[in-house]
Chain A
Amino acid sequence: MLNTTSTLSSPTLGHPSSLRGPLLCSTLALAALLMACETVPDRNARLEDARTELAAARNDAQVQRHAAEEMRAASAALERADAARNAGAASADVDHLAYLASRRVDLARETGSARAAEAVVEGARTERDRLRLALRTAEADEAQRRLASAQQQSQAQAAALAQAGRDAASDRAALARGDARVDDLEAQLKALNARRTERGIVVTLGDMLFDSGKDRVLASGAASVSNLAEFMRRNPTRRATVEGYTDSQGSDSANQSLSERRAQAVRTMLVGMGIDGQRLSAMGHGEADPVASNDNAAGRRSNRRVEIVFAGEAGDLLRP
């Protein structure tokens, strides 16, 4: 406060230390005050520039939106400059205040621009996050789609497998039916004492079938022939060869003839039991291929026999 005088006086007034007397001093001070305050308020170029800039900034959307506070400061600065001008302040001071107001407007403009850009950055970040999410979702969807497709495929495969399973079951059932047939055949063949040979299935009608030297089937062997006929009725596709054998007693030619007659006798019996003659052929092997010793009666009895040879069928191959 004390050095006010020095500021007031310079440069328009002389140094205050030169002042002498209260009247002179107060007069000078009053004059200085009046000079400062009664300056005619003519237009200040800087002030008008600042006013124009402020008005332009007010119309800037970015500034409006993002720099309200800075605009208030700029307005206040301009008001101070106006007040100083209206109060008749020195043009240097008004210029100064107007300059400050202009810079405040600059600050508001830059702030608006910066914050608008930051809002764009923020918006782009949000957009990027959204897009990343969408991208991840798309990728997840794609993965899901692939998974579903794979599952669909595997379902199709499962369906195929199930069908294959059903087919297999059906096959198994067919096989089982075949097996049953085969099993049935096996049981029948077992009952007939049949055996598998390379010639086919062979059923031997032996033991007490014929008397020595005779071709008439004994009653004791008739049951065996009957069983054979039953077998042939149940397996109507099978063809058979009836083969006769003799023991070693007697000449070969006589035995050959006897064996043929024995075979024919059995064939005739089978036909008589209802078997189609076409399915049956007959032949004799004489005393060849004995199944037992011809040195004793029991052995010779076994050798006096008829063998029924069934040609092999596809089903026979199922069981070795």
Chain B
Amino acid sequence: MRPVRPSLLPGASARPWLWALALAAGLSACATPPDTDVPMAVAAAAVQRASATATAELAPAELRRATGKLADARAALAAGDFAQALRLAEQATLDAQVAELHAQAQRSRLAAQESEAAARALREELNRKAAP
């Protein structure tokens, strides 16, 4: 995962001033090195969760975007582009959540239609009963 680190560490420890510099750079917060393990795992889990049949049926485009993003993240990781991998993992996670919620909203809207139809049918029956 971190092929650079072993070769860098000995050199860094040899120069204490470099530590200080690195610390200062880190504090600037402009370029924290990405820890990709957790975001990648989170993205994979989110995409897997969103890949349920119901979501695939109701939000296929959203799900495709999430799975595609996760694949890109893995590719970036394999290529050693951690920053990109991290970004794509984060995006894949939200994409997967959006897909899941989109499907859920669709289901809820359908349920709402059915519920209203059922209530309407009942109301009509009541009106028929009340009429005579």
A-contacting residues, B14-53, CB 8 Å? 15, 17-18, 21-26, 28, 30-34
Roughly how many angstroms separate A25 CA and B16 CA in the complex, as a whole number? 13
Roughly how many angstroms separate A210 CA and B104 CA in the complex, as a whole number? 129
B111 touches A117 (CB 8 A): yes
Q: A8-B25, A96-B87, A135-B129 are in contact. Are A3 and B2 (CB under 8 A)?
A: yes
Q: Digit string of A110-148 for contact with B (CB within 8 Å is 1, else 0)?
A: 110111011011011101100110110011001000000
**Does any Cβ of B come within 8 Å of A231's Cβ?**
no
B28 touches A110 (CB 8 A): no
B122 touches A131 (CB 8 A): yes
Roughly how many angstroms separate A6 CA and B15 CA in the complex, as a whole number? 16
B102 touches A110 (CB 8 A): yes
B26 touches A4 (CB 8 A): yes
Roughly how many angstroms separate A113 CA and B118 CA in the complex, as a whole number? 21
Residues of B within 8 A of A6 (CB): 4, 8, 33
Residues of B within 8 A of A7 (CB): 31-34, 82-83
**Does any Cβ of B come within 8 Å of A92's Cβ?**
yes
A114 touches B104 (CB 8 A): yes
Residues of B within 8 A of A106 (CB): 98, 101-102
Number of contacting residues on A, CB 8 A?
Answer: 50
Tell which of B11, B33, B94, B123 touches A131, judged by Cβ atoms closer than 8 Å: B123
Q: A25-B21, A127-B119 are in contact. Are A107 and B30 (CB under 8 A)?
A: no
Roughly how many angstroms separate A1 CA and B129 CA in the complex, as a whole number? 77
Residues of A within 8 A of B2 (CB): 3
B31 touches A4 (CB 8 A): yes
Residues of B within 8 A of A134 (CB): 126
- Taking CB as reference atom, which chain A residue is nearest B65? A103
Tell which of B82, B84, B118 touches A124, judged by Cβ atoms closer than 8 Å: B118
**Does any Cβ of A come within 8 Å of B112's Cβ?**
yes
A96 touches B9 (CB 8 A): no
**Does any Cβ of A come within 8 Å of B57's Cβ?**
no
Roughly how many angstroms separate A107 CA and B66 CA in the complex, as a whole number? 14
- Taking CB as reference atom, which chain B residue is nearest A5? B22
**Does any Cβ of B come within 8 Å of A265's Cβ?**
no
Roughly how many angstroms separate A96 CA and B105 CA in the complex, as a whole number? 26
Q: A3-B2, A100-B91, A131-B122 are in contact. Are A107 and B26 (CB under 8 A)?
A: no
Roughly how many angstroms separate A134 CA and B24 CA in the complex, as a whole number? 73
Residues of B within 8 A of A1 (CB): 22-23, 26, 33
Interface locus among A29-37, A173-181, A222-230: A29-37
B-contacting residues, A23-45, CB 8 Å? 25-26, 29, 32-33, 36-37
Residues of A within 8 A of B84 (CB): 92
Tell which of A25, A26, A32, A117 touches B105, judged by Cβ atoms closer than 8 Å: A117
A and B contact pairs by CB, cutoff 8 A, 21 listed: A4-B31, A7-B82, A17-B8, A32-B31, A33-B25, A96-B87, A96-B91, A100-B91, A104-B94, A110-B102, A110-B105, A111-B101, A114-B101, A114-B108, A118-B111, A121-B115, A124-B115, A125-B115, A127-B119, A127-B123, A138-B129
The 6 A-B residue pairs whose C-beta atoms are closest, nearest first, are: A124-B115, A117-B108, A120-B112, A110-B101, A103-B94, A114-B105
